[in-house]
Chain A
């Protein structure tokens, strides 16, 4: 994947004169998804994550991933300051990185050519860049002359100054198309560029992009989307839960655990969208739920823990039988004991006859499992039987399912 996509990363700054922007960019990225904060929210323990990331964490574990203190989704609050920082930084990033990379190339050329040449080369860059070059030169000299310890502040300061002095960044979370100047979401720019006519379009007119609200009706819905409450699933019967999913407009097929997981994911997607300044339409959220369904939900390959794993092609039969060996043995033992008792009490004459048919049984059990088939009204195995634990110990004195203990 990483060969085909040039993913922006905080380490892009390393190797340029602005390498000290690496920690700054790291600080603007979510620790869970490692991407720039998307609708950042702050926890009770004052850690900031993407709204969706922390919601997924809390609905799984109920703990802050950074410090492990307990928290609830209800207590999450939007972190506007971080949101603005991220937007401003993302907006400035391409041009700043470009400058930094050019400066790095120059440095290398300087080193190759010697000390006499750089002046003329720099002048060429100056001509190309116009006024911007002063900024870049200023940075270069600073990072070249100052010690590493001293650099932290100036480098960070530069970025802040950039966003304040050079251009005003509207707080709408959008970026302008470089051709027609229309403002749109960052992700939509490339798609838009493919068919941008260059004519400035009045911002009210919406003619493209699934990221925009589809109709006036859906727009009003998006204005104030209501948060979904958490459900105590144990209080709901299957059909009530199924109806709830149907009412929400999401798929309601599948076994109960899947219904719960799907509802949780939908709640996370929905509530995270409520934290957005530019909420997506329900259709888009449904699309995202569809992606979840294919990767982790009902249409995904069942995970090892799920009940369907036995049917998987790569099912590890050896591991399965090893793990459940003692269970199997208990089941068999119980079945034998039961059928034995049955045979003795109900068909006394059957006992000697059966003994020939079970030569492999190591215990003096006279009846084999097939005997039970004659008595279908009796449960084959009674796991609630009081004899259960006793049999386990008698059957498996050497077997150990206990965890491995390490020395202290």
Chain B
């Protein structure tokens, strides 16, 4: 499986069955994300795939060998938390895979033209201590 992932998606870490890290990059010419690789962290519970994995971007400092910033996007908070309905309990389906989730996020980036963070980003980032799954997002944007 490792060697046969779709273009722009690769496994960065998969030593155990609790946490995987994936690298993704956007394939088209979108200037917001060009020449940049982003790191996604998947955390699986014992109930996966009945329950969704926890997925968020993680940051590796620009000084490291593999710098990984948090992509700018109106649905991605600067702490890496992603507002995407298929990652919530309601939107998740057990037929999803790490690969399909990566592709969804990849296309979410590709389709974006807005160089901005979600409203209330700084408040959320400084105040939130909750796990992504406990947050009640409103999924009111169908153009993701």
CA distance A319 to B47 in the complex (A): 22
CA distance A225 to B102 in the complex (A): 43
Assess whether B67 is interfacial by the CB under 8 Å rule: no
**Residues 22-65 of chain B: 1 if any A CB is under 8 Å from the residue's CB, otherwise 0?**
00000000000000000000000111011000000000000000
Contact flag A68-B93 (CB < 8 Å), given A404-B137, A406-B137: yes
CA distance A295 to B50 in the complex (A): 14
A406 touches B46 (CB 8 A): no
Give the contacting residue for B119; candidates A34, A295, A406; CB below 8 A: A406
CA distance A300 to B47 in the complex (A): 11
A406 touches B83 (CB 8 A): yes
Assess whether A11 is interfacial by the CB under 8 Å rule: yes
User: Closest approach, in angstroms, between the C-beta of B114 and any C-beta of chain A?
Assistant: 9
Contact flag A322-B94 (CB < 8 Å), given A11-B1, A406-B119: no
Assess whether A31 is interfacial by the CB under 8 Å rule: yes
CA distance A322 to B135 in the complex (A): 12
CA distance A57 to B96 in the complex (A): 13
CA distance A251 to B74 in the complex (A): 49
Q: Which residues of A contact B127 (CB under 8 A)?
A: 322
CA distance A65 to B100 in the complex (A): 14
Name the interface residues of A245-272: CB closer than 8 Å to any CB of B.
none
Contact flag A319-B14 (CB < 8 Å), given A11-B1, A53-B94: no
Kindly count the residue-residue contacts between A and B in the assembled complex, taking CB atoms under 8 Å apart: 82
User: Closest approach, in angstroms, between the C-beta of B9 and any C-beta of chain A?
Assistant: 14
Name the interface residues of B116-130: CB closer than 8 Å to any CB of A.
118-120, 124, 127-130
Ordered by A's residue number, 28 sampled pairs between the chains whose C-beta atoms are within 8 Å are A1-B17, A2-B2, A11-B3, A11-B4, A14-B4, A31-B94, A33-B49, A56-B50, A57-B94, A65-B93, A65-B95, A66-B93, A296-B46, A303-B45, A303-B46, A303-B47, A304-B131, A316-B129, A319-B130, A322-B127, A322-B130, A403-B136, A403-B137, A404-B138, A406-B119, A406-B138, A407-B119, A408-B140
Given contacts A57-B94, A66-B95, A406-B75, list 18 more A-B pairs with CB under 8 A: A1-B17, A9-B1, A14-B4, A31-B95, A34-B97, A53-B94, A295-B46, A316-B129, A322-B127, A322-B128, A323-B129, A404-B118, A404-B124, A405-B119, A406-B138, A406-B139, A407-B74, A407-B141
Which 5 pairs of residues, A with B, have the shortest CB-CB distance?
A403-B136, A31-B95, A319-B129, A11-B4, A322-B129
Binding site for B on A (CB under 8 A): 1-2, 9, 11, 14, 31-34, 53, 56-57, 60, 65-66, 68, 295-296, 300, 303-304, 316, 318-319, 322-323, 403-408
